[in-house]
Amino acid sequence: MSLDVAAEKLTKDGLIRYLMSDENAPVFLDRLDFYMDMDQPMAHYYINSSHNTYLSGRQFGGRSSVEMYRQVLLAGCRCVELDCWDGRGDDEEPIITHGKAMSRRLRSVQWDAMMLQDVIYALRDTAFVTSDYPVVLSFENHCCKAQQYKMAKYCNDILGDLLLKEPLPDSQLEPGVPLPSPNSLKRKILIKNKRLKPDVEKRELELFLQGQFIIEDEEKEDASAPVLAKKDDAPEVVDIPVVGDGVEAPVQTHHTGSTTNVHPWLSSMVNYAQPIKFQGFDEAEQKNIHHNMSSFAETAGLGYLKSQAIEFVNYNKRQMSRIYPKGTRADSSNYMPQVFWNAGCQMVSLNFQTSDLPMQLNQGKFEYNGNCGYLLKPDFMRRADRSFDPFAESPVDGVIAAQCSVQVIAGQFLSDKKVGTYVEVDMYGLPTDTIRKEFRTRLVPANGLNPVYNEEPFLFRKVVLPDLAVLRFGVYDDNSRLLGQRILPLDGLQAGYRHISLRTEANFPMSLPMLFCNIELKIYVPDGFEEVFGSIPGSTVYSCAPGHDKRSGVFSHVSVSDFMAALSDPRAFLSAQEKRAQQMKAMGIEETDISTKDIVGGEDGDNKKSKVGGKPNQPGASQEPKKGEVSSV
């Protein structure tokens, strides 16, 4: 670094080098290294998770590839999905492929398939290159017992000691016993697959080990055959658009659930990730079995968030949940993960092959903590004695609300073409903290090399929960084409003048493009208290003029008088569910994305008592999930 020793000052060149160096990074560098406590139960962490990992493109007509497993694991993913079906031919080897679809028009689609054995080898070779923390293999198992035996054999023989076949001595599979920690499961692979009842597994496993287990003739499932809907449950006939190469995109898919006819050897390999059919939050609390987990389609998950948000958070303090994209996402698009992170859902599974905004948020979030695939949830989302509403609009007990100001000053090397550029700055977090498509610089024409914006600061006036909030910088040309982006979690963000290196749409680092910004972070001070705080030596606060706050009225602070008015005249106010629906809409989630049709325990969480001493819901859902919305897959 250049110094003027005599004057004890930095030279101009020295200042420029410092501003563009790692020492002046927009985030504290220790946040990019391992810094979190990794000795908490697994349910206390967000886990980087993939959906339909084998696909490299669309859900239908897209190619399957073993290479996708290598790529997602090297990118830090810790939960991958394997859709296993019976292989045909002389060898009858289990295969991985997409499986059945509820559309007769898809019979002509040539489904790619790959040998399970090849995938297991790829998993062994790449599971612990990027991270030593545990990997979960989420099996969607449609194989007959004979081929399930091969599944178990490949896992046992190829993975060897990497496979966790027995529970740890201090984390037995008993009610009330917390899950083990990521540290205690380092370099271990866990299998998530349906498990037999203990007495059945014990009896059949003894017969198998003695060579006396007999597999009766089974009907093999054909992965390429469409599901035949029941007469009274026939899907509505709709026009299905052609998506290329003559392949028609189905509007709705319907996958058969994983088989419950499990081979005892494979069943015995399942321990800390035992999927079960979801029966309601109260029943799960009463059973208190931490190693049981359930999967929810995004629509069902949103339905539970809309109706029982606090109960969902409490469930995730104890045991794991997995969210997966709804069946209509034939183009492999992704849902917004933030709303499920707000509820503490651990495995928010996304289509890694699609570089859209949700995937960028996912990759930006999991860059922290050494890109190890595990992020510790905030304290109040882990402790049983704390209550947290993911739709809260007022500060959480013990958490100080923040204020964030971002001034976009200039850009460097944004494009090698003579194009106009502009910058958008968004925030994602709790619904009340989320501000999208409101802050945008002016367009600087015909200058992609070094545009100067010098905008007035964009003020995010009140960030209720900084721990869950992220900033997104998006740079666009005059045709609204993305030139670069960057996701920066507020937890760990550094104030001051910073050069922010940009990433590609797929979140790969770009060597030259960057933004020069001034970031200010302060404690949030309500209107009317600025003078009090301003009189404290060394304190500075923002004052927001009336009408300057760009937030929608939906997110305005609720006063005591408002609360009392709501009690005296409830009809004059939105119900909790309606309000949550509006909050989710502000995050980009439409009402049509939310399904409450098959919600188990339909009583509104706001009208129930808290977890301690609360009244149990009355189960009122059908025994079979509809269209894969809530499953134990």
Distance CA 331, CA 249 (A): 8
Is 51 noted as a catalytic residue in this protein? Answer: yes
Structurally, at CATH architecture level, domain 402-550 sits in: Sandwich (2.60)
Kindly list the domain boundaries of the chain, sorted by start residue: 35-230+250-371, 402-550
Calculate the alpha carbon distances from 136 to 163, 185, 218 in Å: 10, 11, 29
Non-local CB neighbours of 490 within 8 Å, separated by 6+ positions = 402, 404, 427, 429, 463, 466, 467, 469, 470, 471, 521
Query: pLDDT tens-digit profile of 398-430?
Result: 889 999 999 999 999 999 999 999 999 999 999
pLDDT confidence of residue 28: 93
A 10 A CB-CB count for 314 gives 25
Calculate the alpha carbon distances from 178 to 43, 171, 193, 345, 525 in Å: 8, 7, 19, 16, 40
State the pairing for strand pair 292-297/321-324.
parallel
- As beta bridge partners, residue 221 has none
Non-local CB neighbours of 258 within 8 Å, separated by 6+ positions = 139, 140, 141, 142, 193, 194, 275, 632, 633
* Per-10-residue mean pLDDT, the chain, length 633: 66 88 91 96 98 74 82 96 90 84 42 87 98 97 95 98 97 97 98 96 94 76 54 38 44 55 96 96 97 97 95 98 92 94 98 95 96 97 95 88 97 95 97 95 96 96 95 97 97 95 95 96 80 53 38 38 47 64 80 80 51 40 44 56
DSSP string, 349-384: -B-TT--SHHHHHHHHHTTTGGG-SEEEPPGGGT-T
pLDDT confidence of residue 398: 85
Taking a C-beta distance cutoff of 8 angstroms, is the pair 513, 484 a contact? yes
Non-local CB neighbours of 337 within 8 Å, separated by 6+ positions = 323, 348, 350, 358, 361, 362
Distance CA 351, CA 54 (A): 10
Query: pLDDT tens-digit profile of 121-172?
Result: 999 999 999 999 999 999 999 999 999 999 999 999 999 999 999 999 999 9
Amino acid identity at 626? K
Rg (CA), the chain: 26
Query: pLDDT tens-digit profile of 341-393?
Result: 999 999 999 999 999 999 999 999 999 999 999 999 999 999 999 999 999 88
pLDDT confidence of residue 218: 63
Place of tokens 């930006």: 364
pLDDT, averaged across the chain: 83
A 10 A CB-CB count for 372 gives 21
H/E element holding 311?
helix 298-318
pLDDT confidence of residue 220: 65
User: Vertex 347, ends 494 and 354: CA angle to 5°?
Assistant: 75
Distance CA 398, CA 384 (A): 15
Tell whether domain 35-230+250-371 is in CATH 3.20.20.190: yes
Distance CA 86, CA 149 (A): 12
Distance CA 348, CA 334 (A): 11
44, 98, 254, 290: the catalytic one is: 98
Q: Cα dihedral angle (436, 441, 444, 449), rounded to 10 degrees?
A: -80
